[in-house]
Homo-oligomer: A and B are copies of this chain.
Amino acid sequence: MARTAAVIGGGVIGGGWAARFALNGWNVRVYDPDPEAERKIGEVMGNARRSLPGLTDVALPAEGAISFHSSIAEAVEGAEWIQESVPERLDIKHSTFGAIQQACDPDAVIGSSTSGFKPSELQEGAARPGQIMVAHPFNPVYLLPLVELVPGDAGDAALIEVAKATLSSLGMYPLHLRKEIDAHVADRFLEAVWREALWLVKDGIATTEEIDNAIRYGFGIRWAQMGLFETYRVAGGEAGMKHFMAQFGPALKWPWTKLMDVPEFTDELVDLIAGQSDAQSGAYSIRELERIRDNNLVTMMRGLKAQDWGAGALLNAQEKLMRAGTALGARAAELPADKPVLTARRTVPLDWTDYNGHMTESRYLHAFADATDRFMEIIGCDAEYIRAGGSYFTAETHIQHLDEVHAGAVIEITTQVILGEGKKMHLWHEMREAERLLATGEHFLLHVSLETRKPAPPSAEIEAALVRFAQGHAGLPRPEGLGRAIGAAR
């Protein structure tokens, strides 16, 4: 049964939480007195639907329902997780928590999206302080994994573990801070950089665009994958972190930042920044910028996924959880051998489309090759077996592109064994969106020794598992297009 979350306060952050929960199959109950809340959350959902589901190579569960409620009491009823994203005023936060705790399950997690308040401040005067914790996400909440989880000294230990497990199941990364501090961790860095950047613009050293370029063409892309300390560890070379610190230690005394000082927040400064920002980005609407940003995040995160690193390693961990207990995680013996095998169920990611607006041709083979890998895993040719020196190499492929498909579509691939004996494996993949046949992939593979790079017999276990499917599939109808050559009459 679907789990239920309550989102108190919509807007960009609350809407992002609603999207993250709903796309992971939770029902979401929203309370926000703003009459525009439904429209605003709908817009965030639109962005989230186009970008989040394709991040992983396994389709997310069916989307949960989002409902809107006229009171906090009604919204939090039956919710396992209640996320507060109301304006950053402590009096509003306190009255919101009061209303939540009057009506909610005492075992529910109450997370606060606050960027500045400490949990001890939020918990003041609460009926059950241990239930309230900071769960500070980052925009866009539906894509970025970081959540600063700060329970404070009053936090309930068991509930903290529930919160961490829940966030991980949503593909998020709970950064559990054991000591509370103003603005937690990440926003302290953002604030430091923001203050420095305001000085640079105010003093006419650089424009907003030049500052953005100084970040994104240099350290920004380093930090996206390793952060600060690991980057410097590498920069320090074999001499190590101590050497690096000794080299840059003296700079701590040098006037390399203005941050002993804070710029005055005047109308002139606001106009200067806003004007430069218009010159830099005004050619795009905010909606266009959001989509560009999300396209960029998806392609970078999927790139890191293939490297199994950083935000991409988190996606792989989430995917493993999603495969467990489903057909996409099963081994040969658990699967019937008398019908084609389901080898993929995934959402076409944003970065798989081309200038024609549909899935680009090489991604058909990417999806078929992943399906082949999954079939290899099913019969026992898994990562461990490959490390031990055996694998299958594809010798020949024939693809029929029968219909178009777009980003966001859920596609399934089923695989039929045409021939499986000795070193040979001849597979027939069919790719569908629901009932619609999109493409077929005919693949001829040979088992090889990774040492000699030459054909060699597979292990007896693999051959037995393959032969079982080959025999089971021998009774299936011959696929249309099997053995076709290009140029032959259709």
Contacts and interface: CB of A to CB of B under 8 A. Distances in A.
A426 interface: yes
A444 B396 contact: no
Contacts of A220: 220, 223-225, 227
Given A301-B221, A356-B386, A484-B485, A177 B205 contact: yes
A245 B269 CA distance: 10
Contact of A281 (B228, B230, B237, B242): B230
B259 A257 contact: yes
Interface stretch (A21-29, A53-61, A179-187): A179-187
Interface residues of A, number: 155
A67 interface: no
A393 interface: yes
Nearest to A221: B224
Given A252-B263, A260-B259, A262-B253, A227 B216 contact: yes
B270 A225 contact: no
A251 B192 CA distance: 11
A207 to B, nearest CB: 9
Given A146-B214, A256-B191, A444-B487, A303 B302 contact: yes
A269 to B, nearest CB: 8
A43 B483 CA distance: 50
Nearest to A277: B241
Contacts of A395: 400-401
A12 B235 contact: yes
A362 interface: yes
Cβ-closest 4 pairs across A and B: A212-B227, A259-B259, A299-B303, A146-B218
